[in-house]
Structure 1
Amino acid sequence: MSRHLTRQIGKLLEWLLSNVGSMMLSLLASLTVWIAANQSLNPVEIAELDDPVEINVVGLDEGLIIVNDYPKTTRVTLRAQRNTWPSLSAEDIIATADLSGLGPGVHTVRLDIRVVAQAIVVAANPSNVRFELEEVRERTLPVQLVVNGDPATGYRVDEPVIDPPEVTVRGPRSRVELIGEIRAEVSAEGLREPLTATLPVVALDSDGTPVEGVTITPAEVDVELPILQVAGFREVAVRVDADVRPAPGYYVPRIIPEPQSVTVQGDPEVINDLLVIETQPIVLNDLTEDRLITVALDPPPGVSVVGTQTVDVRIIVAAQPGFNVVEVPLQALGLAEGLAAEFSPDRVVVSISGPLPILNKLNPEEDIIASVDLTDLGIGEYQIEPQVEIASGELTTEELSSVLVESVLPTLIDVRITVETRAPGQ
């Protein structure tokens, strides 16, 4: 039995050995046909991604810093089958520049491009990136405050307070060593009071040119700039010496000088007790509108005004509010022909308010019209709300709009409409 099995196996092996060539050729032909068919349906395509790929820089020593402007992205060309391309994006590509072990100097680093999708990297542009590395340097430097301009006459700038007084500068050694000054600037032009401000600071070289590429911490400082008055000078309020008489029905609510204070100079014993400085007298009569007048100042003996010797005085004139109550007869509006109307009561009491000069121009009997609208009403009895209108040919539209009807009494009028009775012969 075993001898027979051995002969059978031997014949099978002999047959396989004699036919293995034709079998391999058949398999290879089938595989070739499958690949060709697959390539025709889903061919391989080579193209560049639409979006650039961000370059990740890793491995930079903590004591070094990149000082050159290197490319932050690269364009990547891939090889992938057609049905893969719709799902490919820049997020599927990882481009890495590894700076591990590199010291100060200039280095050209080859990018490591990896694809997380079913694709092959064909090319990258750029494929190599140039890095210039320098040692990091830190310095602590005082802040210098530059005060531009002069305060108002009679004032001076006292010693400023800067918080913090020092800042830390960090950056490439070559740039940090260029720094000659950390500066903040503030204007004191025309100041009369202390100034508090938060100011940016800038690093400058010995020529006053800003040094770029360094980090300043903090980037801003708080500054208090004291402004003191010089002995022999004093700021005092301006008081207007005015005899102003408005026209009847008007009043003067305010008189405003501009400026409202001035600086005076003189004997300290005199000006220390001086609280105000008056203007030359202003006399005006029958004012009905605002006035702007330039008037000279009138300092006391031994005192002089610093700068301008005049002030502008604005005199505000306003109409006095008025109120009036008048009795007005009622008129019928829209009454149909052949009808007659009786009102009870036949007069209304109208309360109006507005600027007194305008109310004084009104003629109550002619300019205040009270009416009852009877449009489309027939014979019968009704209660109707009276309407009041103010119209005057002597007043402008603006003046009329300033007059308000506060109330009309009574609020309802009893109306009786009947057939009009005509005398015989009419």
Structure 2
Amino acid sequence: MISSKNFDEILTSPWSLWAISVTAALLMWFYVMESDESGYVTRRFSCPLEYESLDAQATLRNKVSEVDVEIRGLEEVLARFDYDSVSCVVDLRNLSPGKKYTQDVRVNLPPNVSLVSCTPSQVVVDLLRQVVRLMPVEVVLPQDIPDGQYLEGVEIVPKEIAIRGGEKDISKIGAIQIQPTVQELQSGKELLLPVKLSQSEPFDEEVALEPSQVRMRASLVRGLPKKKVPVNLRLSGKPSSDYELKAVVTDPSEVYLEGPASRLSQISSVETETVDISWLSADQMLVVPLKAPNVKGVSILNVKSVRLSVHLEPAKATTQFSNIPVAIRAGSGESEWAAAPSVVVVTVEGLPSRIADIRPEDVGLQAYVDLSNIFVDSAALPVRVEIASEDLKVVKIEPPTVTVSTAEGSVGR
């Protein structure tokens, strides 16, 4: 048994006093810390992930849509906390499509709240090159349209839809369609219809349609369906060798066909009877009959022929004249002048029949240099060409300039 004297010695020993001091300090520290933590709580929630500064020509593949966030704050603050005030952002500035990047998630918090954790704290960003393609809107008719009725006066606004997505996904799209029902068409009202995609296989990523709906006006009317088709002109022969075919215009350029819908779908155009334009040498206007469609039960409405305007333009041919002497004109009478080179090559353009077998002397072709107002012993001057025929044109002189000089080395002596 420990005596009181021994107990006092133990309590007053240096080691005992040190142990008592350390124990007291630890108790005080735990007390203070417990006091500081009182009133603070944490909250965990999911936060939508936003992507900033995405290149207009890029789209995100397999993007992370949300992250888990844990925040800490006073209990009374978090009790009325608006979780929509927290934003989680990935910055895509200066990132190029076609590559993968690892980017930090930035958590934006209001005052009096601190971030404990964000999971994941980084995301892999896979940028794909985005393209925009315009495609026309097609109307898919319902199969249960009553016999003896057809769709007339179809108007679609807009007529084209912008498709935005990755290059690979865009290539899978075959058509843009709207599919009105018989009841909608019989109402006679303007319809607001969703746009549907006809695609060869599922998309890898999101594809956006702009707009996603179109307005349509149409009427179901009684009678045989009608279809507008272009007129194809059948020509044979060639104009005179001096002329080329510039343009052929038909009026009207389109006609309406009437017949059962299944048979109208077999026809894409109608043809004229064959017109022979051999040896034409001037513009012509002709009336040409239309050929009846070769599909039974289909006829052309109200038109039996079309006006045909044939427009010609002169054909162009060229020929070269070599060794054309260069004459000296308006030189000083007291000096002898010489040109170097003394001959040139002249290219002349005209109608093929006019150019054939032509000679320089036949058309008064002359090359010369003009020495008017020349007061030096030597000069490089442009070569000029005269031609007496108005239907011929000089298109090239080679060389375009020659050097003229005096044999005496002086001018005007």
TM-score (norm 1): 0.40
